[in-house]
């Protein structure tokens, strides 16, 4: 069977699929048709084992990551997974004859060493999973929209790092570690050790989706209330020398500021200053510090200040915040700690109960 594409493209497709990238995205990143991805994967599974092994040697993989993958527009965590990828990972992903070709009749000592290496990799994934298992900070959820795959950051530093989790259009939460090659194998071990693992993780993710939805509803209520006022909008950060500089409300900034006060149960304070153009600025002080939210005359500032007090004091919004905080404290935090304790037991022991397909292959 001939190669369906160039060796480099075949390797690129094999690498992306081995780290969990779906076929459609793999085709986009490698700039080929979806059918090409299908044909390449068929070739990888059915072609002579040694022919497949030749195009995905470790040196070629490293070179691909260093010289080409960095320009594909991949997320940082995908690049990290590609950087860890080895020839064995690709062959194990595609070849049912992997163990046989590698020498299934090795001595017990060699099998034990390989199993120990497998356990080390699983432990590394357990540690990463435990670190990812964190409830998002409510004040930062203003960044959430209902777009599929929207990042939910936990803190400012996380905003500029790998995506921690995504909140899709079906209100489903997915941790980034679930895309790791070893994730399904790890789940087999964790379920063998803790039969309730899948149910507990599912309940935790449902709880995260609920608080994300509630926070979105709160900020939408504030945004809708602001839109009803029909105040002129002003561009934040515009130079006072600009011809477009004039009175108006920083709508997005005001919405976020009110939201953060609401979820932190913070009563905002206000201060007025005047800019070089003679317009008054309304500075709003909240849990984040102080920021200007509107510029204009006294009547406009009075109305905006009253709107802030109305939103922060709105009983329906405050009730939703209390319900959300109660869910976090009484349900999600205990559940999260329970899962983390179980994961810590596995890390301390360093071995795993039950067996996965890789364990079975290594033991055969």
Task: Report pLDDT for 179.
Answer: 82
Domain membership of residue 42 (yes or no) is yes
The range of the structural domain enclosing residue 41 comes to 7-102
Domain membership of residue 286 (yes or no) is no
- Chain center to CA of 25: 17
Domain membership of residue 306 (yes or no) is no
Domain membership of residue 280 (yes or no) is no
Domain membership of residue 56 (yes or no) is yes
- How far are the Cα atoms of 16, 111, 127 from residue 121, in angstroms, in the given order? 19, 15, 10
Domain membership of residue 340 (yes or no) is no
Tally of structural domains, the chain: 1
- The pTM of this model reads 0.62
Domain membership of residue 241 (yes or no) is no
Q: With contact defined as beta carbons under 8 Å apart, do 303 and 309 qualify?
A: no
Domain membership of residue 68 (yes or no) is yes
Q: List pLDDT tens digits, range 272-282.
A: 999 988 899 99
Q: List pLDDT tens digits, range 122-177.
A: 999 999 999 988 888 887 665 543 333 444 443 333 333 333 445 555 556 778 78
- How far are the Cα atoms of 31, 182, 259, 351 from residue 119, in angstroms, in the given order? 36, 11, 45, 6
- Angle between helices 298-312 and 251-263 in degrees, nearest 10: 30
Task: Report pLDDT for 163.
Answer: 34
Long-range contacts of 37-40 (CB under 8 A, 24+ apart): 37/13, 39/4, 39/5, 40/4, 40/5, 40/9, 40/10, 40/13, 40/14
Show the tokens assigned to 329.
């404290």
> Which regions of the chain are under pLDDT 50?
104-107, 144-165
Separation of alpha carbons 80 and 41, rounded Å: 23
CA dihedral 137, 139, 143, 147 (to 10 degrees): 60
End-to-end CA distance of the chain: 30
């Amino acid at each position: 069977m001939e190669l369906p594409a160039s060796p480099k493209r075949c390797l690129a497709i094999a690498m992306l699929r081995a780290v969990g990238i779906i076929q459609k995205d793999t085709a986009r990143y490698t700039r080929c048709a979806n059918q090409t991805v299908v044909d390449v994967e068929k070739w990888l599974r059915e072609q002579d084992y040694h022919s497949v092994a030749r195009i995905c040697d470790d040196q070629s993989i490293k070179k691909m990551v260093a010289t080409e993958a960095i320009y594909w527009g991949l997320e940082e965590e995908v690049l990290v997974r590609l950087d860890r990828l080895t020839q064995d990972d690709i062959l194990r992903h595609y070849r049912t004859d992997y163990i046989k070709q590698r020498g299934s009749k090795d001595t017990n000592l060699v099998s034990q060493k390989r199993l120990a290496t497998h356990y080390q990799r699983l432990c590394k994934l357990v540690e990463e999973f435990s670190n990812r298992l964190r409830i998002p900070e409510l004040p930062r959820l203003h960044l959430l929209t209902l777009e599929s795959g929207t990042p939910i950051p936990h803190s400012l530093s996380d905003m500029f790092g790998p995506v921690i989790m995504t909140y899709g259009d079906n209100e489903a939460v997915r941790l980034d570690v679930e895309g790791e090659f070893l994730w399904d194998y790890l789940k087999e071990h964790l379920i063998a050790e803790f039969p309730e693992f899948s149910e507990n993780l599912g309940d935790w993710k449902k709880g995260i989706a609920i608080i994300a939805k509630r926070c979105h509803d709160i900020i939408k209520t504030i945004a809708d209330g602001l839109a009803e006022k029909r105040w002129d909008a002003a561009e934040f950060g515009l130079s006072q020398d600009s011809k477009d500089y004039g009175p108006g409300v920083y709508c997005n900034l005001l919405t976020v500021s009110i939201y953060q006060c609401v979820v932190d149960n913070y009563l905002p304070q206000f201060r007025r200053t005047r800019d070089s153009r003679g317009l008054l600025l309304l500075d709003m002080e909240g849990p984040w510090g102080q920021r200007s939210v509107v510029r204009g005359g006294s009547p406009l500032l009075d109305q905006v200040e009253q709107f802030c007090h109305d939103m922060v004091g709105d009983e329906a919004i405050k009730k939703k915040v209390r319900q959300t905080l109660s869910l976090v404290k009484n349900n999600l935090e205990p559940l999260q700690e329970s899962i983390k304790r179980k994961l810590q037991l596995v890390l301390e022991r360093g071995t795993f109960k039950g067996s996965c397909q890789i364990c079975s292959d290594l033991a055969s």
